[in-house]
């Protein structure tokens, strides 16, 4: 929801980042890999109880994840492989946070399995609709908006990373929001893919 509706407000900041990396002659794929490495580093920091720094690094990773697409559009270098690299990197970052949380907090592993199941379901719908849809937009595939997009995910991951006391509740709320998003996307798919 935030990615779709708030993008216009943060886009100037994203564009400045894109211009910076273009001046450095870094490709969109290079910035995607940098975002991935920072996201993995956030998981490592989380493992070593550096939670606040981990959250900041996670958000830097997310920022670069937005910048890479802007670079691709500005340099006319959008590619199908870049899309695959971007989406795969996003999931690796998310998996890293979830796996580290499961390693550190055994009592929420069942909650995390439910969360992962909801993420998987939502992503299957998202990617399948993107693959079979003839619609296109600013991205290189049809982007299905939803209640839980990347920014909402980062907000929930941040709360998870900073809240040990209510971790199970936060994970359950996160899973529920993603499940609502999956249902929302399935309803939209039914309307647009007749």
31-90 tens-digit pLDDT: 999 999 999 999 999 999 999 999 999 999 999 999 999 999 999 999 989 989 999 999
Q: pTM for this structure?
A: 0.89
Cα(57)–Cα(85) distance, rounded to whole angstroms? 20
In this prediction, residue 1 has a pLDDT band, given cuts at 50, 70 and 90, of low
Looking at every residue in the chain, the average pLDDT score rounds to 91
- What pLDDT sits at residue 149? 82
| Superfamily of structural domain 2-192 | CDP-alcohol phosphotransferase transmembrane (TM) domain (1.20.120.1760)
Burial class (CB in 10 A: 0-12, 13-18, 19+), 178: buried
Burial class (CB in 10 A: 0-12, 13-18, 19+), 97: buried
- So where are the chain's domains? 2-192
What distance separates the 2 farthest-apart alpha carbons in the chain?
Answer: 50
């Amino acid at each position: 929801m935030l990615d779709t509706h708030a993008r216009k407000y943060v886009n100037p900041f994203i564009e400045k980042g894109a211009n910076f990396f273009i001046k450095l002659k870094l490709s969109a794929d290079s910035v995607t890999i940098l975002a991935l490495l920072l996201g993995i580093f956030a998981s490592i920091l989380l493992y070593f109880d550096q939670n606040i720094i981990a959250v900041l690094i996670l958000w830097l990773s997310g920022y670069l994840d937005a910048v890479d697409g802007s670079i691709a559009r500005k340099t006319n270098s959008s590619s199908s492989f870049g899309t695959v690299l971007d989406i795969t990197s996003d999931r690796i970052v998310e998996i890293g946070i979830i796996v580290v949380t499961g390693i550190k907090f055994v009592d929420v592993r069942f909650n995390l399995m439910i969360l992962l199941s909801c993420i998987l379901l939502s992503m299957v719908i998202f990617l399948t609709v993107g693959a079979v849809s003839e619609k296109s937009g600013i991205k290189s595939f049809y982007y299905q908006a939803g209640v839980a997009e990347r920014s909402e995910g980062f907000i929930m991951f941040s709360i998870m990373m900073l809240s040990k006391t209510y971790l199970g509740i936060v994970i359950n709320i996160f899973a529920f929001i993603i499940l609502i998003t999956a249902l929302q996307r399935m309803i939209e798919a039914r309307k647009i893919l007749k």
